[in-house]
Amino acid sequence: MEILSKIKDKTKYMISKINYDFLKKEKNELIEDLYAKPFSNIINYKNKLLKAEKIYHESAQSWEVFKITDWENTYKLRICESEKKAKRIDTNSKKLKNILPDYYGREWKYLLYKRISNSIEYHQYKWPNKNYKLWEILWQANQYRKDRSKEDFEEVKSKHIKRISKAIKTFSPEEQIKILEKINILFDPKENNLWLDLIDAHTWNLLFDQYEHLYFIDEEGISGREIIGLWMAKLIRNWRINVEWFFSWYRKHCSFPFTKEYLEGLFLLMTLKRYAKKLSDRENNKHNLPEERLDFTEDNNRIKWIINNDRHLLKETSLDNFISYVEKENLH
C-alpha cells in the first residue's frame, strides 16, 4: 500500500508538472500565485496548450505581469503586490475603459486585460492622422477631476520635490529659490489642478491595433491625483511634434486655464526630473548607458534659461519651441 501510495503521489506530481510547466520561471521556481487560477471563468486552464510568459521591460515598475494564451484568446494578467494597489488600478481602469484594452475586472490582487494582437507602436505607425488619436486619449484622461484637500497637494508636492531634490542641489542657493518659486505654483490648492492623468507617456505604452484604434496599455501608469498637463509636458519634452497645433488643440478641449507661469513651472519640473534621473544613472550606471545619454549639460542650461528668463540661447527642440511659443502668445 505504501509503494502504491508513492506511485500515486508521483503520478499526481507529474500530471501537475505537465499542466503547470508554463508556471515556471528562473531557477525552476514555481509561481505560486497562478495556482489560484484567477479568472477561471474566462481563462481556460484545462486547455493543455495553455501558455504563460512573463512580460519584462527594463523600466517596468510592475510586480508580476504575464501574457497568457489559452489557444482561443490572449490575455494580460497583472498580479499586484497588494490588494490596495489592485483596487486603485481597478478604479482607474474602469474610468478609462475607452482607451485601455478590454478590461475584464479584478479578483483580489489580480487584474485581467485583453492583449492586443497584431499591434504597432505609436512611433512606428505611418498613419498621417495618428496625432488626433493621441489627443483623444489625453483629453479622455483629463476630463476626470474632483476637489482636493490641502493635504493632497502637500503630499503630491512632497513626492515630486523628493524626486528632483538631487538636481536642485546642484544649483546655487539663489537659483534654488527661483526654481522653487516657479514650481510652487503647481501645488497651490487654489489652482484645483490635481486630476486624473497618464504619467507614463512613452511610445511603447501606446499601441495601434489592426483597426487603427489607439490604446494606452500601461494601466499602472495612470494616476487619479496628478498635476494637470504633466503628460502633455512629457509628450512635448520627449517627442518632436507640432507644438502650436498640439497646444492650441489641447487648450480648446481641456477646461483648465493654463497660464504662462503655470506652464513654465510644469516644464521646469519635467526638466528637473530628467536631470535628476541622469544624475542617478551616472552614479549607478546599471544599464551601461553611453556617455551622451548621461550628459545633463543641456538640461542644466535649459533650467537656467527658464528661471532667468533668458531665451536667446534656446535650441530647436520641442520644449524650447514651446517656451518660445508661450512667450510669443503672451499667455496670461
CATH class of 2-114: alpha beta
Tell me what pLDDT residue 94 has: 94
Tell me the residue ranges of DSSP E strands in the chain: 51-54, 64-69, 74-79, 103-107, 110-114, 120-121, 194-198, 206-208, 214-216, 222-227
Protein fold of 120-329 = Aminoglycoside 3'-phosphotransferase; Chain: A, domain 2 (3.90.1200)
Residue-level pLDDT, tens digit, the chain, 332 residues: 444 343 333 333 333 333 444 444 443 343 555 777 899 999 888 887 788 887 765 444 555 888 899 878 899 999 998 999 999 999 999 999 889 999 999 999 999 999 988 888 887 887 767 777 877 888 788 888 778 888 999 999 999 999 999 999 989 999 999 999 999 999 988 878 888 888 876 777 889 998 888 999 999 888 888 888 887 777 776 665 666 666 677 777 777 777 778 888 888 898 898 888 888 887 776 666 666 666 777 777 778 877 776 655 455 555 666 666 666 665 54
Q: Do the two domains 2-114 and 120-329 of this chain adopt the same fold? A: no
Residue 276: name the closest of 186, 159, 185 by CA. Answer: 159
Tell me what pLDDT residue 123 has: 77
Rounded to whole angstroms, how far apart are CA atoms 303 and 237? 13
Rounded to whole angstroms, how far apart are CA atoms 148 and 1? 69
Question: What is the enclosing helix (H) or strand (E) of 159?
Answer: helix 150-168
Rounded to whole angstroms, how far apart are CA atoms 196 and 146? 9
- Cell 520561471: give the residue: 25
Tell me what pLDDT residue 27 has: 33
Q: Domain ranges in the chain?
A: 2-114, 120-329
Name the pairing type of β-strands 206-208 and 194-198.
unpaired
- Cell 508521483: give the residue: 10
Stated pTM of the model: 0.76
Sign of CA dihedral 248, 251, 257, 258: negative
How far from the centroid of its chain's Cα atoms is residue 150's Cα? 25
Coil vs helix vs strand at 110: strand
Tell me what pLDDT residue 324 has: 65
SS3 content of the chain, % helix, strand, coil (to 5): 50, 15, 35
